[in-house]
Structure 1
Amino acid sequence: MNSPMHALAGVITEKFILAAPQEAARALASLATHEVLLLIGPLKAQVVVACLNPMDPPKAAAVLRRLPLKQASYILARLNVEQAAKLWKEFSTPYRERLSSALEPAFVKLLAEANSFAPDSVGRLMHTDFVSVRTEAKLVALIERLKSLPRKKLPAACYVTGKDGELKGVIRTAELAFYTPQSVCGSVMNPAEFLHPQDGAEKARKAFAEAETDSLPVVNEKGVLLGVLLKEALPVTAEKTSLWSRLTK
């Protein structure tokens, strides 16, 4: 495929994935692995994530294995936890060991445990694509990082962690304008309510109600930040389903 045609194919593929990720995943899965790589290899990581999330795990694993290790580890860490855990089981032991060297130990442990989480647990429903900074970082570095993100990916909150990845606090993105760029993140952060991967949906609903927020960080037993749960990710309750049924009759 010549360069202009390859570029055009990439643009079309990107628009297809963003508009209809599930349909795009099915269409790409029908192609040979090397053909999929030709189409998605040059795309941005968030587009590849959107495509691999709904793809059948064996095919998604085959595609990920063919990507450079750094790129593959970055994408794996941003897939839905349930999908990432399924891909992890598809990989051979030697490849898992290679990936482990490029991933955070807490995330590797999460993948190993994910299949034991209940279907409606926080660990299954959370996502791992979040923005975090160290306590000693300055706000100017965080602001520059946020500027590089697409508008749709701009998070409502950024998390502050210690040297070992432990959650220390939260900074609301909308509040950044109230601080000077040279402020240290650890000095302007607020305390953060959090959840654990094993927590159920009902406990998460109560936590959201008490914290009056639409997103909550998820930490492991050592307090290490693993992911973020969005309120909208929680399954609809029976009461809401019943009300919706009555309204639509």
Structure 2
Amino acid sequence: MNAPMHALAGVITEKFILAAPQEAARALASLATHEVLLLIGPLKAQVVVSCLNPMDPPKAAAVLRRLPLKQASYILARLNVEQAAKLWKEFSTPYRERLSAALEPAFVKLLTEANSFSPDSAGRLMRTDFVAVRTESKLSALIERLKSLPRKKLPAVCYVTGKDGELKGFIRTAELAFYTAQSVCGSVMNPAVFLHPQDSAKQARELFLQAETDSLPVVDDKGILLGVLPKESLPAANEKGSLWARLTK
């Protein structure tokens, strides 16, 4: 395929994935792995994530294995946790070892434990694509990072972590305008309430009501930030069942 045709194919593929990711995943999965790589190789990581999330795990794993290690680890860390855990099981032991060296240890541990979480747990429902900065970072660095994101991808909340990735607090994006760019993130952050991966959707709903927020951070037993659970990701509550439970107490 010559360069102009390759570029055109990439544009068409990107538009297809963004408009209908599930259909695009099925269509691409029907192609040979090298053909998929030709089409998605030049695309932005977030577009590739949208395509690989709904793709059949064996095929998605085959595609990811053929990408450069740095790119593959970046994409894997941004897939839905459930899908990432399925791909992890598809990889050979040597490839998992190579990926482990490029990933955060806490995320590797999460992938190995994800299958033990219940389907409605925070660990299975959370997203790993979030914005986090260190306590000693200046707001100017955070602002520059946010400027590089598409407007529809701007998070309502940015998280603040310590040197080992432990959650320290959060900063509301809308409040950045109230501080000077030279302010240190750790000095303007708010205290955060959080979930653990094993926590159920019921526990998450209760915490959402208390915190009055649209997303909650998820941390491991060492307090390391693993992901974020948006309220919209929670399955619908069984109102009839909960009412019946109250009446029969």
Q: After TM superposition, is the score higher than 0.5?
A: yes
* C-alpha distance in 1 between matches for 2:150 and 2:48: 15
State the 1:238 CA deviation: 1.9
Q: In the alignment, residue 4 of structure 2 is paired with which amino acid? A: P
Counterpart in 1 of 2:177?
177
Q: Secondary structure at the match of 1:112?
A: helix
State the 1:220 CA deviation: 0.2
State the 1:239 CA deviation: 2.1
* Consecutive aligned runs of 4 or more in structure 1 exceeding 6 Å deviation: none
Counterpart in 2 of 1:168?
168
Counterpart in 1 of 2:98?
98
Counterpart in 2 of 1:4?
4
Q: In the alignment, residue 9 of structure 2 is paired with which amino acid? A: A
* C-alpha distance in 2 between matches for 1:133 and 1:163: 10
The 5 A counterparts of 1:202-213 are: 202-213=202-213
Counterpart in 1 of 2:142?
142
1:147-181 CA-partner distances (Å, limit 9, x unpaired):
00011111010000000000000000000000000
Alignment of 1:77 with 2:73, yes or no, is no
1:4-63 CA-partner distances (Å, limit 9, x unpaired):
000000000000000000000000000000000000000000000000000000000000
State the 1:201 CA deviation: 0.3
* C-alpha distance in 1 between matches for 2:172 and 2:54: 30
The 5 A counterparts of 1:36-115 are: 36-115=36-115
Q: In the alignment, residue 36 of structure 1 is paired with which amino acid? A: V
Counterpart in 1 of 2:246?
none
Counterpart in 2 of 1:195?
195
Q: In the alignment, residue 57 of structure 1 is paired with which amino acid? A: P
1:189-210 CA-partner distances (Å, limit 9, x unpaired):
0000100000000000000000
Counterpart in 1 of 2:131?
131
CA RMSD, Structure 1 to Structure 2 (Å): 0.9
* C-alpha distance in 2 between matches for 1:158 and 1:49: 21
Counterpart in 2 of 1:244?
none
* C-alpha distance in 1 between matches for 2:238 and 2:113: 28
Q: Secondary structure at the match of 2:84?
A: helix
Q: Secondary structure at the match of 2:28?
A: helix
* C-alpha distance in 2 between matches for 1:45 and 1:34: 18
* C-alpha distance in 2 between matches for 1:38 and 1:122: 35
Q: In the alignment, residue 90 of structure 1 is paired with which amino acid? A: E
State the 1:240 CA deviation: 8.0
* C-alpha distance in 2 between matches for 1:6 and 1:239: 52
1:70-101 CA-partner distances (Å, limit 9, x unpaired):
00000000000000000000000000000000
Alignment of 1:223 with 2:223, yes or no, is yes
* C-alpha distance in 2 between matches for 1:76 and 1:24: 19
Counterpart in 2 of 1:25?
25
Q: In the alignment, residue 13 of structure 2 is paired with which amino acid? A: T
* C-alpha distance in 1 between matches for 2:89 and 2:24: 23
Number of residue pairs matched by the alignment: 241
* C-alpha distance in 2 between matches for 1:151 and 1:13: 22
* C-alpha distance in 2 between matches for 1:35 and 1:92: 22
Counterpart in 1 of 2:121?
121
The 5 A counterparts of 1:232-247 are: 232-239=232-239
**TM-score where L is the length of structure 2:** 0.96
* C-alpha distance in 1 between matches for 2:28 and 2:153: 24
State the 1:237 CA deviation: 1.4
* C-alpha distance in 1 between matches for 2:181 and 2:75: 30
Q: Aligned residues: percent identity? A: 88
- What are the ranges of 5 or more consecutive residues in structure 1 without an aligned counterpart? 242-249
Q: CA 1:174 to 1:74, structure 2 compared with 1: closer, same or farther past 3 Å?
A: same
